[in-house]
């Protein structure tokens, strides 16, 4: 049956449209180097009905099976992006990639699952969840949800429990910035951390000091700095470092695991490093823009060019990028996200006279796998197995869906990419699949290209063509109590035991 979304004119030619039946349900990927986070080997991968059935050096099949030759190429688990905002109502507008266009772009770039952030509707978690369920109906790849918590009362507390026990959500994000929109104070943060711990749900933080941001913005406007560079100048790394340190210490106080989203600076990264060195369960997520770019773009004389780099926390000065790369290769930071949240030039132009009004967000969902391969693997900083770990496996483990996702093992979902290390990629807004009209990686070229993407056992990207079908993506429920919670109760018990017995004091005779 024809694909209405292609006809709707979102930029895919007729030749790139397809239907579910265009792919065989039996597939053999032959002769490639199969890479998992723990091991790589030359092997065949046999897939039936969306599930990996066998991984063996030689698999013989009948002629009803489609065979894809992967000789000389890497066969890897599809990427999982832990951090996206599709069709996100934010800063008086809505991000332009929805659950179809964003996911189509993702598939073209080798990402086969993402986790998006549900925002409560007027503070109501259930209403927010239902709104996102609707938005996600057009999905063409698998997805999961985190949930933002923006206010606190008994209802929110009860609904968090409902989200975990009945809706497949196992993580909650708290914003320490965006005053007046989503920012929470320390009292709420502590309540939220305690609730997360009691549910086995992972607490996540956007770590910038929102009050300091307001003060920094006031200062820039007073100085007459109204352009995009004012965005970086108003919320420097110290503001991110403070909030990261505070969130980490409060999570330690509560003894619950913490996930710091978009670690953009050395300041924040070093707080994560210090806590991990002390044995605390802290996960640090760099995003591609922070690993690959520096803030100089924000000083570009052309407003449209400068404005496309506005995101929060800001992309930092040269040097932070390399330090974040080193932290990723040494294990201080564990997985790479994108924070894909795209606004087109017209939307970005609402801030032409005032950087505070430029909608915050950059692209990355389609580019992540290629850019990370280029800057981390081609540069010799990480192995191919570690590439799989930071782009896929670790995300699946943290959000408790491993090895259904994040692995090429018998029984795992057939979300697979074939990457040719001898082919090359080039990124331009003209050729990308996102709906936005700009690309922060415009003109970037590199070695290593995702030539084939398989989603749920169907070939959806091949010969530079997308064959995506709205409604084929599944919601992936994520159960609580990931490995990060293993031992948390033991640590609590040891702490309680270590407390002194009540001090006996003589009765006062005065």
Residues that bind Zn ion (CB under 5 A): 3, 6, 17, 206, 339
Six-digit token pair at 247?
Answer: 């969130």
Give which of 184, 166, 171 is closest to 144, Cα–Cα: 171
341 lines the binding site for ligand URP (CB under 6 A): yes
Six-digit token pair at 153?
Answer: 């009362």
Applying CB under 6 A, among 240, 285, 295, 339 the residue interacting with ligand URP is 339
Would you give the distance in Å from CA 322 to the centre of its chain?
20
H/E stretch holding 2 reads none
Q: How far is the CB of 20 from ligand URP (least distance, A)?
A: 33
361 lines the binding site for ligand URP (CB under 6 A): yes
H/E stretch holding 346 reads helix 345-348
312 lines the binding site for ligand URP (CB under 6 A): yes
How many residues lie near ligand URP (CB under 6 A)? 8
Of the two residues 129 and 309, which places its CB atom closer to ligand URP in the complex? 309
d(CA 142, CA 136): 10
d(CA 431, CA 437): 10
List the x/- string, 193-212, binding to ligand URP by CB under 6 A. Answer: -------------x------
Q: How far is the CB of 312 from ligand URP (least distance, A)?
A: 4
Please report the DSSP string for 205-269 in residue order: EE---HHHHHHHHHHHHHTT--STHHHHHHS-HHHHHHHHHHHHHHHHHHT--EEE----SHHHH
E-assigned strand segments in 89-223 = 89-90, 93-94, 111-118, 142-148, 171-175, 202-206
Q: How far is the CB of 183 from Zn ion (least distance, A)?
A: 11
In Å, the largest CA–CA distance within the chain is 98
Give which of 490, 390, 399 is closest to 200, Cα–Cα: 399
Of the two residues 210 and 361, which places its CB atom closer to ligand URP in the complex? 361
Of the two residues 197 and 235, which places its CB atom closer to ligand URP in the complex? 235
Of the two residues 399 and 425, which places its CB atom closer to ligand URP in the complex? 399
263 lines the binding site for ligand URP (CB under 6 A): no
Give which of 349, 339, 351 is closest to 314, Cα–Cα: 339
Q: How far is the CB of 442 from ligand URP (least distance, A)?
A: 19
Of the two residues 267 and 415, which places its CB atom closer to ligand URP in the complex? 267
Of the two residues 181 and 253, which places its CB atom closer to ligand URP in the complex? 181
Q: How far is the CB of 336 from ligand URP (least distance, A)?
A: 15
d(CA 141, CA 108): 11
Residue 344 site contact among ligand URP, Zn ion, none (CB < 5 to 8 Å, cut-off depends on kind): none
Rg of the chain over all Cα atoms, to the nearest angstrom = 23
Of the two residues 94 and 409, which places its CB atom closer to ligand URP in the complex? 94
Applying CB under 6 A, among 311, 324, 407, 417 the residue interacting with ligand URP is 311
432 lines the binding site for ligand URP (CB under 6 A): no
Q: Are 268 and 248 in contact (CB under 8 A)?
A: no
E-assigned strand segments in 15-70 = 26-36, 39-48, 51-56, 66-69
List the x/- string, 84-123, binding to ligand URP by CB under 6 A. Answer: -x--------------------------------------
Of the two residues 32 and 364, which places its CB atom closer to ligand URP in the complex? 364
d(CA 16, CA 424): 21
Of the two residues 3 and 436, which places its CB atom closer to Zn ion in the complex? 3
Residue 244 site contact among Zn ion, ligand URP, none (CB < 5 to 8 Å, cut-off depends on kind): none
Q: How far is the CB of 399 from ligand URP (least distance, A)?
A: 17
Give which of 231, 175, 249 is closest to 208, Cα–Cα: 175
171 lines the binding site for ligand URP (CB under 6 A): no
Which residues lie closer than 8 Å to 499 by C-beta, 6 or more apart? none
Q: How far is the CB of 339 from ligand URP (least distance, A)?
A: 5
Residue 6 site contact among Zn ion, ligand URP, none (CB < 5 to 8 Å, cut-off depends on kind): Zn ion
Residue 73 site contact among Zn ion, ligand URP, none (CB < 5 to 8 Å, cut-off depends on kind): none
Q: Are 248 and 257 in contact (CB under 8 A)?
A: no
Q: How far is the CB of 470 from ligand URP (least distance, A)?
A: 24
Applying CB under 6 A, among 360, 434, 436, 453 the residue interacting with ligand URP is 360
CA distances (Å), 175 to each of 46, 108, 299, 354, in order?
A: 44, 31, 27, 23
d(CA 22, CA 24): 7
Q: How far is the CB of 360 from ligand URP (least distance, A)?
A: 3
412 lines the binding site for ligand URP (CB under 6 A): no
d(CA 428, CA 458): 27
Residue 361 site contact among ligand URP, Zn ion, none (CB < 5 to 8 Å, cut-off depends on kind): ligand URP
- Pairing state of beta strands 51-56 and 66-69? unpaired
d(CA 309, CA 300): 10
Q: How far is the CB of 114 from ligand URP (least distance, A)?
A: 13
Residue 3 site contact among ligand URP, Zn ion, none (CB < 5 to 8 Å, cut-off depends on kind): Zn ion
Of the two residues 55 and 205, which places its CB atom closer to ligand URP in the complex? 205
Of the two residues 44 and 97, which places its CB atom closer to ligand URP in the complex? 97
Of the two residues 311 and 418, which places its CB atom closer to ligand URP in the complex? 311
- Residues of the shown chain interacting with ligand URP in the complex, contacts defined by CB under 6 A: 85, 206, 311-312, 339, 341, 360-361
């Amino acid at each position: 049956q024809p694909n209405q979304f292609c006809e709707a004119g979102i930029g895919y030619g007729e030749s790139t449209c397809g239907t579910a039946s265009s792919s065989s349900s039996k597939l053999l990927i032959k002769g490639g180097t199969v890479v998992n986070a723990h091991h790589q080997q030359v092997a065949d991968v046999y897939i039936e009905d969306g599930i990996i059935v066998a991984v063996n050096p030689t698999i013989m099949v009948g002629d009803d099976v489609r065979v894809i030759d992967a000789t000389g190429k890497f066969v890897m688990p599809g990427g999982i992006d832990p951090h996206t905002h599709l069709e996100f109502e934010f800063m008086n507008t809505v991000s332009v990639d929805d659950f179809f266009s964003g996911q189509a772009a993702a598939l073209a770039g080798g990402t086969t699952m993402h986790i998006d952030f549900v925002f409560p509707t007027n503070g109501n978690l259930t209403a927010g969840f239902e709104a996102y369920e609707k938005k996600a109906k057009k999905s063409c790849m698998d997805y999961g949800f985190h949930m933002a918590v923006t206010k606190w009362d008994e209802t929110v507390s009860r609904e968090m429990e409902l989200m975990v026990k009945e809706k497949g959500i196992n993580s909650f994000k708290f914003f320490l910035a965006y005053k007046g929109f989503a920012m929470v104070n320390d009292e709420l943060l502590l309540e939220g951390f305690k609730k997360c711990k009691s549910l086995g749900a992972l607490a996540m933080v956007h770590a910038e000091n929102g009050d300091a941001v307001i003060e920094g913005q006031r200062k820039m406007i007073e100085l007459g700095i109204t352009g995009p560079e004012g965005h970086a100048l108003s919320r420097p790394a110290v503001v991110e470092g403070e909030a990261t340190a505070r969130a980490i210490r409060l999570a330690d106080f509560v003894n619950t695991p913490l996930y710091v989203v978009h670690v953009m600076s050395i300041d924040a990264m070093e707080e994560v490093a210090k806590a991990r060195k002390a044995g605390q369960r802290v996960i640090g997520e760099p995003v591609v823009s922070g690993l690959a770019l520096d803030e100089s773009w924000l000083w570009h004389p052309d407003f449209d060019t400068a404005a496309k780099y506005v995101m929060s926390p800001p992309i930092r000065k040269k040097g932070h990028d390399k330090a974040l790369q080193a932290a990723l290769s040494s294990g201080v930071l564990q997985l790479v996200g994108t924070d894909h949240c795209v606004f087109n030039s017209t939307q970005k132009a609402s801030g032409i006279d005032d950087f505070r009004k430029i909608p915050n967000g950059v692209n990355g969902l389609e580019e992540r796998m290629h850019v990370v391969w280029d800057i981390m693997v081609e540069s010799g900083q990480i192995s191919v197995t570690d590439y799989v770990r930071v782009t896929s496996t670790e995300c699946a483990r943290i959000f408790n869906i491993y090895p259904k996702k994040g692995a090429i093992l018998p029984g795992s979902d057939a979300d697979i990419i074939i990457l040719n290390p001898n082919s090359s990629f080039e990124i331009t807004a003209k050729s990308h699949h996102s709906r936005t009209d700009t690309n922060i990686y415009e003109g970037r070229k590199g070695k290593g290209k995702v030539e084939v993407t398989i989603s749920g056992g169907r070939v959806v990207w091949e010969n530079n063509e997308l064959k995506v079908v709205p409604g084929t993506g599944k919601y992936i429920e994520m159960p609580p109590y990931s490995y990060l919670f293993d031992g948390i109760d033991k640590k609590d018990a040891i702490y309680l035991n270590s407390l002194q017995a009540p001090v006996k004091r003589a009765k006062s005779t005065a």
